[in-house]
Amino acid sequence: MKIALAQLNYHIGNFEANESKIIANLKKAKAENVDLIVFAELAICGYPPRDFLIVEDFIQICIASVERIAKECVGLAAIIRAPSLNPDVKGKRLHNTAYFLNDGKIISTHHKQLLPTYDVFDENRYFESGSTFKCIDFKGEKIALTICEDLWNIEGQSLYKKSPMDLLIQEKPDVMINIAASPFSIHQTENRTKVLKWNTDQYQLPIFYVNHVGAQTELIFDGGSCVMNKEGEKIAQLPLFEEYFSIFDTTQLKHETIASIPSKFEKIEAALVLGIKDYFKKLNFKTATLGLSGGIDSALTLALVVKALGKDNVLPILMPSQFSSDHSISDSLALCQNLGCDHHIIEIEKLYESFDQQLAPLFEGTDFGIAEENIQSRIRGTLLMAHTNKFGSILLNTSNKSELAVGYGTLYGDMAGGLSVIGDVYKTEVFELCRFINRNKEIIPDNIITKPPSAELRPDQKDSDSLPDYEVLDAILFEYIENSLSPADIIEKGFDEATVKRILRMVNMNEYKRHQTPPILRISSKAFGMGRRMPIVGKYLS
């Protein structure tokens, strides 16, 4: 049996585009004499559709699209995913369903059994778990069809009492197929390989795995579709971060060309560039604006957005104040020259002085402090938002994960924006990613990378005035955010007790700020946003 894997980039709710893309791949498969083509999870509507699933019209459009696609399946079969109505009066009204299409119609439906409700997933909110288990009989072979999480209930990380494959294997299938919507994180490729290999070892069957590619707001899907033989050897790996179509023969599962797995920072760069590109494309925006400070965070953001959108679609704006150093301006200008992009400079000293004069009666008798510092940031935010409103662009936020964690940012100032590009990149990773970008030639001026980080909101200010070294800070934050360790557990790893308690208190106290940040492109296993749900007014560690 010839099986085609279609690793495609879908757009949530864009049924016309998704259906057109699916049918184009059906025709391509038919021309190549493919027997069965496989598409990813919820390909019809895009993933994750979230509360669109509550809207009756949305579901009816999904089902109608499946029926139209089924009519194209003459001379070949397809496996495609969409929500379906649950005929049972009990339980939730929808199933997360795989449709088997052949002979111009829907032959059978197969419902997802294991519904993830953790991190960025919330499928139990919408779907009823499937309760029947049946293989697909096609071309003289039995196919054990599973949907994403259905294969992830493996030994050592079991979250569910049942495993769909334990029941499907009783029908003695010849092959496993898994269709997925598995978001990218730095180590997800390795995690997927581990899970798929466990299943091939457990059930002694080859597996065909197909995943989404493309970004849906903060979630980035890297693809990574692959084929493993029954010995658990990966015989094919589709490229990451790009659409791809590939054909395999179940009778000849020999080693194919395997796309190389990029290094950590190759993956991060590719993921963020794809995240920016799709956010703009799917929202029908073309141009971006950002504030360029001369610091490393805005420099990295500009380098990424130029790669994603092109130098002519980005306008960095420099807004020096009386506290800005000369090298901040010269470094920013050098960066713009290296990237070949235009720029604009707005001096804000007089604006700041005007604010200062107007606030003098209210601030009388008080010392210069954070309030005055933040006025500069909010002036810049206002100017940037004015530009985006005037010219129909999107303001890109340049805060990193370390700053967002401890509240080192100004609401309605430098925390403003329509998309947070590096909000899931720790400061230490920001430095490493900049060096990676400079691996062949200097794009980000070396002085931006080597000078001490500073917000430049008061004379001679440095981040180290109020924060520990970023190597220490990021290590503590990682243990608390990604690994969910308690203060005692982190201290036991050798970190200073007072530092740990102070940092974790800052993290928890600043939850209210993070609830007001723009969507953050997710590249880690635990990003701020939909995957980390903390109470704003909780008193733990505060």
List 45, 73, 148, 434, catalytic entry: 148
Is 148 considered catalytic here? yes
Q: Which two tokens mark 387?
A: 């530009």
How does DSSP assign 480-502, residue by residue?
HHTS---HHHHHHTT--HHHHHH
For 208-255, give the secondary structure using H, E and C: EEECCEEEECCEEEEECCEEECCCCCEEEECCECCCEEEEEECCCCCC
Backbone angles phi, psi at 519, to 5 degrees: -55, 140
List 21, 112, 234, 267, catalytic entry: 112
Is 171 considered catalytic here? no
List 2, 19, 21, 41, catalytic entry: 41
Name the residue with tokens 């029954």. 230
Q: Which two tokens mark 427?
A: 């400061």
For 39-100, give the secondary structure using H, E and C: CCCCCCCCCCCHHHHHCHHHHHHHHHHHHHHHHCCCCCEEEEEEEEECCCCCCCCEEEEEEE
List Cα–Cα distances, 24 to 29, 37, 43, 331, in angstroms.
9, 12, 14, 48
Q: How far apart are CA 325 and CA 42, in angstroms?
A: 51
- Residue pair 225/259 in contact by the 8 Å Cβ criterion: no
Q: How far apart are CA 278 and CA 216, in angstroms?
A: 7
Q: How far apart are CA 470 and CA 268, in angstroms?
A: 19
Name the residue with tokens 């720790």. 426
Across 339-464, where does the E strand assignment appear?
Answer: 344-345, 394-397, 419-420
Name the residue with tokens 């016309």. 16
CA 149 remoteness from chain centre:
18
Q: How far apart are CA 214 and CA 182, in angstroms?
A: 11
Q: How far apart are CA 218 and CA 221, in angstroms?
A: 10
- Residue pair 318/341 in contact by the 8 Å Cβ criterion: no
User: CB pairs under 8 A, 24+ apart, for 122-131?
Assistant: 122/48, 122/50, 123/96, 123/149, 126/53, 126/54, 126/83, 126/92, 126/94, 126/96, 127/83, 127/92, 127/94, 127/95, 127/96, 128/86, 128/88, 128/91, 128/92, 128/93, 128/94, 128/95, 130/95
Is 112 considered catalytic here? yes
CB atoms within 10 A of CB 328: 21
Look up residue 532 and give its DSSP letter: B
The amino acid at 17: A
Q: Which two tokens mark 416?
A: 């403003």
**Residues noted as catalytic:** 41, 112, 148
